[in-house]
Amino acid sequence: MLKYYKYMSVILISILTLFSACQEDDYELGKIETPTNLEISFEVVGVDAENPYGDGTGFVNFNATANNEINYTYVFGDGTDKEVSADGKITHRFSLPGINTYNVTVLAVGTGGVTTSKSVQVEVFSSFSDEEAVAFLTGGTSKTWYWAADQPAHTGLGPNFEDSGKAYAAWYAATAFEKECMYDAEFVFTKTEGGVIFEQTVGSAFIPGTYAGKIGVEGDLCYGEDVAPGLYGVKNVTFAPASSIATEDGGYRGTSFSISDNGFMCWYVGTSTYEIIEITNNILRVRVEEDDTFAWYHIFTSTKPSQEPAGVDVEYTNLVWSDEFDTDGTPDAAKWDYDLGAGGWGNNESQTYTNDAANASISEGTLKITAKADGGSYTSARLKTQDKFEFTYGRVDVRAKLPTGGGTWPAIWMLGANFPDVGWPACGEIDIMEGIGNNPGHIQCALHTPSSSGATENMASTTVADASDEFHVYSVNWSENQITFLIDDEVYYTYAPVDKNADNWPYNADQFLIMNVAMGGTLGGTIDPAFTESSMEIDYVRVYQ
């Protein structure tokens, strides 16, 4: 018992000491004062005898004053986020079309966080509307949107400051399905009699590294509502004219939408306003400003993507052009022409392309494109069907066996027939097969467009261990809506953009075929000093429509 009282005495003394310390700290912080005499005045922009509710822009200038205040918090009553003003002055745009009355509340904040509040009613006219955007967003009733996770740059980062000259995802662009934890998110927009409502019904909040440090969590991970308040629940959506630094230069729609109650579309950076870059029946591109430095770019789709490669969408069975290479000699001049010269057209290649039979000849039923060492340099051949056979949509099958040797870079590919007029990559390039002698068995396909060229995001690779020992059929199935790549009739990559604009889909016009073996360069890499010669053998080339 004595030990119990002694123990309690220690606790009581500790509590009294802590209480005394807290009182002292509170005293040092200063006296807590509640703001008084809060007054609010406002001016609806454009009010005159003919426009008693304003000029239709929806702008209202507010001015709040009080005694003993630190700052003012405005709650506008229109579903947009609250805003803080240091001096009580603020301009807000009410964007609900027509004449509407809003209950605007101002909280004057004093020391210690104590507040005094007051409300005023504001009647204002807004003539802004974007009914087409509403129709696309909601489908006229209700529509669910998803991350366009299979699309390159479905989320990207760029600058958000004047004179940056880069109102796009200049700093970072995600690859397909890069952010694994967030792709189950679903976003539902519904049109009601009272306007548009929003709800994220499934999924979590993804917090990027740029914002995570500001709220004290680890970045580039998914979190729940405990970390990202506003994640769930039904919220109102309001529309307004866009006004970011990117609006004029970016060629955007000119409309933004805001989600009430801190709502957001999965990507959590403390903002609820989305500037629409583009919206159609199945694509939504938006820009989101995180702060004065960072702007995020997102792509959503109304069709949920699958991580499994899609099969071919159109079966092409009518053989329209082929070369079986059954006649010994040089390639058929009625079907093939040559690119001649050195340098690799910007790829830093080491070979010189010729039309010599030593570099391209037919024997024993195969075309052999041979790269050769030639006294410290290299020769090879690049065959093409330009101006001889060009086509739009179809399937190409090429049965080939690849060369060996470090530095060899065999390729079977296609280029837009308008290349001489518009140049590369505007013409579009389809790489059916590329091999790398320094990485035996590695096979890749790629698409190069104005929106993704060079080290393109539109690509995939696979392994064919015996690619240089056995023949395999390398194929592309090119339709109006997608491009599918196959090896031995097995799909390993499909590119199906959610929209087909000029930047990411130059594949609605004729292309021609190209086959070559390069040496070195950006993909071929270091050439083996012991290399003498090696050939890509082609059994046949067949085109179906």
Name the DSSP class of 160. -
Tokens 């058929």 belong to residue: 332
The single-letter code of the amino acid at 44 is: V
Q: Name beta bridge partners: 109.
A: 71, 115
**Overall residue count recorded for the chain in this entry:** 545
Structural tokens at position 169: 């995802």
Q: What is the 3-state secondary structure (H, E, C) of 359-412?
A: CEEEECCEEEEEEEEECCEEEECEEECCCCCCECCEEEEEEEECCCCCCEEEEE
Estimate the share of the chain in helix, then strand, then coil, as percent rounded to the nearest 5: 10, 45, 45
Select which of 69, 275, 390, 429 is catalytic: 429
Asked if 59 and 125 count as a contact pair (C-beta separation under 8 A), the reply is no
Going by C-alpha positions, the residue among 281, 299, 309, 288 that lies closest to residue 146 is: 299
| pLDDT score recorded for residue 502 | 66
Tokens 């940056």 belong to residue: 164
| pLDDT score recorded for residue 282 | 87
Does 1 have pLDDT greater than 50? no
| pLDDT score recorded for residue 515 | 98
Q: What is the DSSP string of 32-46?
A: ----EEEEEEEEETT
Does 393 have pLDDT greater than 60? yes
Does 200 have pLDDT greater than 50? yes
Element (H, E) at 339: strand 337-339
9 Cβ neighbours under 8 A, 6+ residues apart: none
Name the DSSP class of 195. E
| pLDDT score recorded for residue 17 | 43
Asked if 93 and 124 count as a contact pair (C-beta separation under 8 A), the reply is no
**Half-sphere exposure of 423 toward its Cβ, with a 13 Å CA cutoff?**
4
Confidence band (pLDDT; 50, 70, 90) for 250? low
Asked if 370 and 358 count as a contact pair (C-beta separation under 8 A), the reply is yes
Cα–Cα dist 215/52, whole Å: 44
pLDDT in tens, 489-510: 999 999 888 667 767 789 999 9
Determine the Cα angle at 290 with ends 288 and 293, to 5°: 115
Asked if 72 and 82 count as a contact pair (C-beta separation under 8 A), the reply is no
390 is catalytic: no
- Count each helix (H run) and each strand (E run) in the chain, helices first: 5, 37
Element (H, E) at 133: helix 131-138
The answer to which of 38-47, 220-229, 283-292, 489-498 has the lowest mean pLDDT is: 489-498
Going by C-alpha positions, the residue among 227, 265, 274, 270 that lies closest to residue 247 is: 274
| pLDDT score recorded for residue 30 | 58
Select which of 180, 434, 457, 537 is catalytic: 434
153 Cβ neighbours under 8 A, 6+ residues apart: 169, 173, 174, 297, 299, 451, 452, 457
pLDDT in tens, 138-153: 999 999 999 999 887 8
Percent of the chain at pLDDT > 90 equals: 73
Task: Determine if the peptide bond prior to 425 is cis (ω within 30°).
Answer: yes
The answer to which of 191-195, 345-349, 471-475, 526-530 has the lowest mean pLDDT is: 345-349
Tokens 């929209």 belong to residue: 499
Start-to-end CA distance of the chain, whole Å, equals 97
pLDDT in tens, 291-344: 999 999 999 999 888 887 778 999 999 999 999 999 999 999 999 999 999 987
Q: Within its chain, how far is the Cα of 401 from the centroid?
A: 37
Q: From its phi and psi, is residue 8 left (phi > 0), alpha (psi between -120 and 50) or beta?
A: alpha
Cα–Cα dist 71/107, whole Å: 8
Cα–Cα dist 10/109, whole Å: 40
Going by C-alpha positions, the residue among 389, 335, 391 that lies closest to residue 362 is: 335
Name the DSSP class of 302. S
162 Cβ neighbours under 8 A, 6+ residues apart: 245
69 is catalytic: no
Asked if 119 and 102 count as a contact pair (C-beta separation under 8 A), the reply is no
The answer to which of 55-69, 418-432, 490-504 has the lowest mean pLDDT is: 490-504
